[in-house]
Structure 1
Amino acid sequence: MDNTLIQIALGLGFAFAAILVAYAAWTAGRQMMERYRDRVLDATSAQLSDLFIFMDGAKLQQISIVTTIVLPLIAYFVTGNPLVVVGVAAICLFGPTITHKNLKKRRRKKLIHQLPDSLDSLVGALRSGMSVTQSLGLMAEQLPKPSSQEFALVVRKLRMGVGIEEVLTELEERADSQEYTMFTTSMRIAREVGGNLTESLERLADTMRKKLAMEDKIQSLTSQGKLQGLIVGSLPLFLMWVLTEMEPEAMAPMFHTWLGYGVLLVIFLLELIGFVLIRKIVLIDV
């Protein structure tokens, strides 16, 4: 009878402890999810709106949760390697931030390459007798995206009564490039000091075309170094794959033991350092 009471008491104690652990885990998980939503998802949703990509934060959160749960499970059933599972989960968690940075970089590059033609359109409209607001409105209608989106927003704010100084500052911050800084500076100088705005913009467009041509030439000259870095960085991974196919038993400890995981981590860090160094070598600012 006493043994039975002791067993029941121990069982109740373990059950209570399990409930406490589950509750603590659920509370910690909820707090982590809230912080993740506030710091990553909501920030990413707000940043995407700056790129004229409007997505609800709740929808983005649902997509992130589903991918973070489903993809690591698929990776586990396919590979059975916990290291791969952790890597896939990390990619899913930080995927929104990485995606935003890539989209912003691509959009910024398009804005810069479209700016000389945009300035030519502005110069033509000003010489035809249009005002600055009318010329910007014509640009918003005729230019391709994303330049049309930016100048359409500028025109809407000017028509709402926002000062041109504030509008130009916001345009400069959204574009985040030296080219747009030069454009807004030219507009400010012409407005405050005076002078021929069309000639200034025309010279600026010609300077930007020469700058972009120089950047394209540098990119073509450094493409060989980038390709060499990619090949050299891929060689260890290719060699690892070949050895795994040739001697799976000898390579098995690397993918199924903690010592092997440590070796893979060192390989990843060395690859990352090499990638950063090669990128700094071939990156030339004009």
Structure 2
Amino acid sequence: MRMAIDYRTYRLNRKECVRLAVVLTAGLLALGLLFYESPLPGAAVFLLWKPARKFRENQLRRKRLQQLRLQFRDFLNTISSAFAAGRHFQEALEGAGREMGTIYGEDALMTREIHIMMERMDVSGESELTVLEDFARRTGVEEVSDFAQIFRACRESGGNLAQAVEKSARMLSEKITIEDGIRSMVSQKRFEGEIITVMPVLIVLSLRFLSPGYLDVMYGTAAGRIMMTGCLGLVAAAYYSIERITDIAV
């Protein structure tokens, strides 16, 4: 049986850890040579590893949840049509698995989750509601939780499940469309902010190549090194501020 994923957390695998370590070390070495003419700042990788890893894991967690939400929207549309045709849940789930596999591939998140739910019902004998509610709990996604609650309410009250699922799919599609518009505007502003953030680095790099001796005082004196450190601190603070300002929950 396939292993269920807890989407509320993300842990970097070995390959991702190696990639992050290489990028972080290379970046610190480059900054050290540029701002201090020394590779010693590269040793800061040991101090920055934990926050950098946490930051990257949070990025990938949010990206994975966004992919799941998009795939879940298509899943709802598929099973809504199946319910409208009079099929029961397991038949609708089986058809949705084939559809998701065709659209996104067999390794896609929603395709995998459908197979997990079917295996748990067939092998372990768990109920439809149990696997749905467990899926909702593991994702922490509002729309998935809402669907599980709607499914429970319709099962307990004998409501029109096809109509309820169709309405949920329509509302989710509208919400995602609005979010995409907001996300596009935020991405543009974030890109502009990132350009402004890297400008001090580009200025220092340009001066190093165009006027090699112009910044000697910054590398050869304690005051110059302090000013370079302050510049780096301001760049880091600006990047952090941009990430916080543009991290809009929609």
TM-score range, shorter chain: 0.7 to 0.9
Q: 1:100 to 1:273 in 2, by over 3 A?
A: closer
CA–CA distance in 1 between the matches of 2:130 and 2:242?
40
- The answer (yes or no) to whether the contact 1:81–1:256 under 8 Å persists in 2 is no
- The answer (yes or no) to whether the contact 1:83–1:261 under 8 Å persists in 2 is no
Q: 1:92 to 1:281 in 2, by over 3 A?
A: closer
- 1:256 deviates by 7.1
Indicate the SS of the match to 2:237.
Answer: helix
Match of 2:175 among 211, 216, 233: 211
- The answer (yes or no) to whether the contact 2:82–2:92 under 8 Å persists in 1 is yes
Q: Cα deviation per residue 1:188-239 (whole Å; 9 max; x = unaligned)?
A: 2222233111111111111111111111111223333223211211111111
Number of equivalenced pairs: 228
Q: 1:93 to 1:277 in 2, by over 3 A?
A: closer
- 1:91 deviates by 6.3
Paired position in structure 2 for 1:239: 203
Percent of aligned positions that are identical: 22
Q: Indicate yes or no: 2:201 matched with 1:201.
A: no
CA–CA distance in 1 between the matches of 2:220 and 2:44?
15
Q: 1:149 to 1:262 in 2, by over 3 A?
A: farther
Counterpart residue identity of residue 60, structure 2: L
- 1:92 deviates by 6.1
Counterpart residue identity of residue 251, structure 1: L
Which is worse superposed, 152-161 or 78-87?
78-87
- The answer (yes or no) to whether the contact 1:111–1:146 under 8 Å persists in 2 is yes
- The answer (yes or no) to whether the contact 1:81–1:255 under 8 Å persists in 2 is no
- The answer (yes or no) to whether the contact 2:190–2:246 under 8 Å persists in 1 is yes
Paired position in structure 1 for 2:84: 127
Paired position in structure 2 for 1:175: 139
Q: Indicate yes or no: 2:64 matched with 1:107.
A: yes
CA–CA distance in 1 between the matches of 2:244 and 2:49?
27
Q: Indicate yes or no: 2:119 matched with 1:156.
A: yes
Task: In structure 1, list runs of 5 or more residues that go unmatched.
Answer: 1-46
RCO greater where, 1 or 2, for CA within 8 Å and sep 6 or more? 2
- 1:269 deviates by 3.0
- 1:178 deviates by 1.8
Give TM-score, length-normalised by structure 1: 0.65
Q: Indicate yes or no: 2:38 matched with 1:81.
A: yes
CA–CA distance in 1 between the matches of 2:192 and 2:242?
9
Q: 1:259 to 1:141 in 2, by over 3 A?
A: farther
- The answer (yes or no) to whether the contact 1:169–1:184 under 8 Å persists in 2 is yes
Counterpart residue identity of residue 158, structure 1: M
- The answer (yes or no) to whether the contact 2:6–2:139 under 8 Å persists in 1 is no
CA–CA distance in 2 between the matches of 1:194 and 1:259?
76
Whichever of the two has the greater Rg, that structure is 1
CA–CA distance in 2 between the matches of 1:251 and 1:263?
12
CA–CA distance in 2 between the matches of 1:194 and 1:157?
24
CA–CA distance in 2 between the matches of 1:187 and 1:217?
30
